[in-house]
Structure 1
Amino acid sequence: MKLTTYLHNGEARLGLVDGDAVIDLHTAQPQVPADLRAALRAGVDLAAAAKAALASSAPRVPLSSLKLAPLVPEPGKIICLGLNYFDHAKEGGREKPEYPWFFFRGATSLVAHGEAGIAPKVSVKFDYEAELALVIGQRVPRHVSQEDAPNYVFGYTCFNDMSVRDYQKRTPQWTIGKNFDGTGGFGPVLVTADELPRAATGLKIQGRLNGEVMQSANTDDMIWGVAETISLLSDVLTLEPGDVIVMGTPAGVGQARTPPVWMKAGDRFEVEIERIGTLVNPIHAEA
């Protein structure tokens, strides 16, 4: 099952992807809340609702005609990992961290597929990061085992963790450089976990700037995979339906190149993950 979130009269709506078309799940199945986080928190059987919607005469709208929104417009938590690929840690001059470098993003940083990433006025060091993201589907018990952890993932998608590097390095914490408005590309579709390898292992991930491959790796190259990451987080906090975890980026980021490569207005960055899809964000200058 593939889901997306789109805007209708300015409001986010949860859509079921049927080939090149989208069905409004709430319209087709009124028991389904109109947004993904609410549907997950309500414990709605989305698989059953999707099956019924596909069998119905519910209207289909071309996906290409829709203005998309971030897949989860207002997640409860957005937890990101830094330095989570061996080669990316090495290109940054670091060895494997002893513990994941976690940081948080805020919802106002998110942008949808097709929406512009915003190159800020206050910096010219605007970088790209192709990443796998996941959405939690059920409340995760504290101290969950690695074996059970993937069972709590509802689905996977693409993320571009656009980073303002000079601000990121102004403090020991990375948060300020990772939370500029319009810097978190998120989408375009969420592929449910049952359609992918368990814990999203073995998937090719690629980042392209203006069509040129800048990052190319496999999710098996992660230092901490999905299962271990969820297990470690559950030792600390409660993961709830609709929370998002962004799993880090491989080598090839702009700041590690000689000379550095920074995104600017007029650029276009794509994140493609095998069996999930391609996230595209043009880059615009801050007004």
Structure 2
Amino acid sequence: MKLIQFGPYGKEKPGLLTEAGVRKDLSSKLARYDREFFNQGGLAQLAELKDSLDSLPTVADDVRWGAPIARPGKVICIGLNYADHAEESGMEVPTEPIIFFKGSNTVVGPYDEIQIPRKSEKTDWEVELGIVIGKDARYLESESDAAQYIAGYCISHDVSERHFQLERGGQWVKGKSCDTFNPVGPFVTTCDEITDVDNLAMELDVNGERMQTGNTKTMVFKPNYLVYYLSQFMTLEAGDLISTGTPPGVGLGMNPPKFLKTTDKIRLSIEGLGEQRQTCVDA
């Protein structure tokens, strides 16, 4: 299944995307894709609705695509999780996952504008595989347990302001948590529709020029391991979002470095998870 949300920011309604690419309105059946929905077996209930989608209202083409999950309790990010990206950043491949957080209010829709922050010098792009947690997870006993705690996968655009992140002292969070810095979607694909999450092609273009070409097979720490690992330090709540790192090709790693500016247009995609498009504007 492909979970979507639609409507004005902060008032999104839930839906499903059919195999024909039609958005169907499920707001008469449930409120939103949030912690309560996932913890109460919502995905199983959705599966029962698949055969009756034709009878549900169709979402008009001009209605905004929202992030496909409600505002998550946590947005957890993994740094330097691609060996080739660590190399371009001039940093060693980590021996344990590098964990940092983004503000949960950074999550916006896949086609919303990206706001270049005031006083920004180095706003950068990062296409990432997102993991959506399907039920609360705490102290998982093994990596093999993790799969049953994953609801699905999505594109997560981990926009970053490198000057804020790396040159202003303190933790990375202030370079990661600017408004609009995490477009998500266009949909969450449930695990049963992903043949091999460890082998998905990824790409990102800026103004029609290819910047990132990668594959999840070069991840240092794979999705199941990340869920297991994180559960040793914190309770992962249903609906939480994990951004799993980016392949090479970010602006910071170029010679000379290249960063986003107002009017730039970004397109990014991950195999089986659709495509995002954003335009940069002044905050």
Answer whether TM exceeds 0.5 for this pair.
yes
Which residue in the other structure is 1:107 paired with? 104
Which residue in the other structure is 2:276 paired with? 279
Which residue in the other structure is 1:217 paired with? 214
Change (3 A) 1:51 1:101: same
Alignment of 1:1-287 (within 5 A): 1-7=1-7, 11-18=11-18, 19-27=20-28, 30=29, 32-44=30-42, 45-54=44-53, 56-62=54-60, 64-169=61-166, 170-198=168-196, 200-286=197-283
Q: Could you tell me how far apart the structure 2 residues matched to 1:46 and 1:260 are?
A: 48
Q: Could you tell me how far apart the structure 1 residues matched to 2:36 and 2:277 are?
A: 26
CA drift of 1:52 comes to 4.5
CA deviation digits over 1:78-133, x for unaligned, max 9?
A: 10011000011011111211211111111221221110011012112110001110
Q: Could you tell me how far apart the structure 2 residues matched to 1:60 and 1:74 are?
A: 24
Q: Could you tell me how far apart the structure 2 residues matched to 1:229 and 1:85 are?
A: 13
Change (3 A) 1:8 1:46: farther
User: What is the TM-score when the length of structure 1 is the normalising length?
Assistant: 0.92
Q: Could you tell me how far apart the structure 2 residues matched to 1:50 and 1:279 are?
A: 27
> Which secondary structure does the structure 1 equivalent of 2:238 belong to?
coil
CA drift of 1:254 comes to 0.2
CA drift of 1:172 comes to 4.3
The unaligned stretches of length 5 or more in structure 2 are: none
CA drift of 1:33 comes to 2.9
**What amino acid sits opposite 1:203 in the alignment?**
L
Contact 2:4–2:69 under 8 Å retained in 1: no
Identify the range of structure 1 (18-27 vs 152-161) with the bigger mean alpha-carbon deviation: 18-27
Identify the range of structure 1 (160-169 vs 9-18) with the bigger mean alpha-carbon deviation: 9-18
Change (3 A) 1:9 1:53: farther
The unaligned stretches of length 5 or more in structure 1 are: none
**What amino acid sits opposite 2:192 in the alignment?**
D
> Which secondary structure does the structure 2 equivalent of 1:187 belong to?
coil
**What amino acid sits opposite 1:7 in the alignment?**
G
User: What is the TM-score when the length of structure 2 is the normalising length?
Assistant: 0.93
**What amino acid sits opposite 1:61 in the alignment?**
V
Contact 2:124–2:252 under 8 Å retained in 1: yes
The share of aligned pairs that are identical, in percent, is: 35
CA drift of 1:192 comes to 0.6
CA drift of 1:264 comes to 0.7
Change (3 A) 1:112 1:8: closer
**What amino acid sits opposite 1:21 in the alignment?**
V
Q: Could you tell me how far apart the structure 2 residues matched to 1:33 and 1:41 are?
A: 14
> Which secondary structure does the structure 2 equivalent of 1:283 belong to?
strand
CA drift of 1:237 comes to 1.2
